[in-house]
Chains A and B, each alone.
Chain A
Amino acid sequence: QSVLTQPPSASGTPGQRVTISCSGSSSNIGDNTVNWYQQLPGTAPKLLIYSNNQRPSGVPDRFSGSKSGTSASLAISGLQSEDEADYYCAAWDDSLNGVVFGGGTKLTVL
C-alpha cells in the first residue's frame, strides 16, 4: 500500500495526450514538491520532472507536470511508442520524515 496513489495503468494511441494522476495528503504533496520518474523495461528509474513542473535537460517538452493542493499530474502529449514505461510520482513526507513513492502507473501505447 503506497502512501501516494496512482492509477495502476494508463493507455493511449500514438499522438494522443495522456495524463497520470498522483494523490497524496497534506504531509507530502500538500506541503512539498512532486517529482516524477520514468522506468523503461529492465532499466533503472530516470528523473522525468522535478519540483512539480521542471524538466531536466534532455527531457522532451512533451512531458509536463502540475500540482494542485494534495494532488499532482503528469501529462504526456504527442504520445510515442518509446513512452511505454512505468511512471512513478514521489514527494517528501513531513510526518514520515522521508521520501514516499506512488505505486507506479504502467503506460501502454496502443
Chain B
Amino acid sequence: QVQLQESGPGLVKPSQTLSLTCTVSGGSISRDSYYWNWIRQPAGKGLEWIGRIYNSGSTNYNPSLKSRVTISVDTSKNQFSLKLSSVTAADTAVYYCAINLQWGDWFDPWGQGTLVTVSS
C-alpha cells in the first residue's frame, strides 16, 4: 500500500518560493501508470488542483498557476516536489500530495497535508 508524506517549511515570506516534498513509501516512484499530484486547500475553502507529473517527466499544471509552478521527481529519493514562486498571502493553504492512476483521474491515496503560511 503506497503512502505519501508531505514535508517542507511551514512559513514562507511573500515574493519567495514555496518548496515542498512528498515522500513515497510502500512503492517506487518510478513505477509506470502513476501520476503524482499536488492539491491545495486554503483554510475554510475548497480544494484546488495544482498539477501533476508522470514518471516520464511529462507534466500538467493548473492554468491559473502554471506560470509559477514546477513539479519534479527525484527517483533516487523516491520523492516528488512542488515549487511555487512569487508567493503571496493567497497561497497560504494546506498542501496535499496525491496519486492518480494513468487510466483514472481519481486521487487515492492522499498525504495527510502540510500547512504553509505566507507571511513576513
Interface, chain A (partner B; CB < 8 A): 2, 32-33, 35, 37, 43-47, 50-51, 56, 88, 90-92, 96-104
Cα separation A92 to B49 with both chains bound (whole Å) = 10
17 residue pairs from A and B, CB less than 8 Å apart: A2-B46, A33-B104, A33-B105, A35-B105, A44-B111, A44-B113, A47-B107, A51-B106, A88-B46, A90-B47, A90-B105, A90-B106, A97-B60, A98-B51, A98-B61, A100-B49, A104-B46
Cα separation A88 to B108 with both chains bound (whole Å) = 14
Contact with A along B19-37 (1 / 0, CB 8 A): 0000000000000000001
**For the complex, is B57 an interface residue (Cβ under 8 Å from A)?**
no
Contact A98/B110 with A32-B105, A35-B105, A88-B46 known, Cβ cut-off 8 Å: no
Cα separation A93 to B37 with both chains bound (whole Å) = 16
Known: A51-B104, A98-B61. 19 other contacts (CB 8 A): A2-B46, A32-B105, A33-B104, A37-B107, A44-B96, A45-B110, A56-B108, A88-B46, A88-B47, A90-B106, A91-B105, A96-B62, A97-B60, A98-B60, A99-B49, A99-B105, A101-B48, A102-B46, A104-B46
Q: B84: shortest Cβ distance to chain A, in Å?
A: 16
Which applies to chain B's interface (DSSP): helix, strand, loop or mixed?
A: loop
Interface, chain B (partner A; CB < 8 A): 37, 46-49, 51, 60-63, 96, 104-113
Q: A95: shortest Cβ distance to chain B, in Å?
A: 9
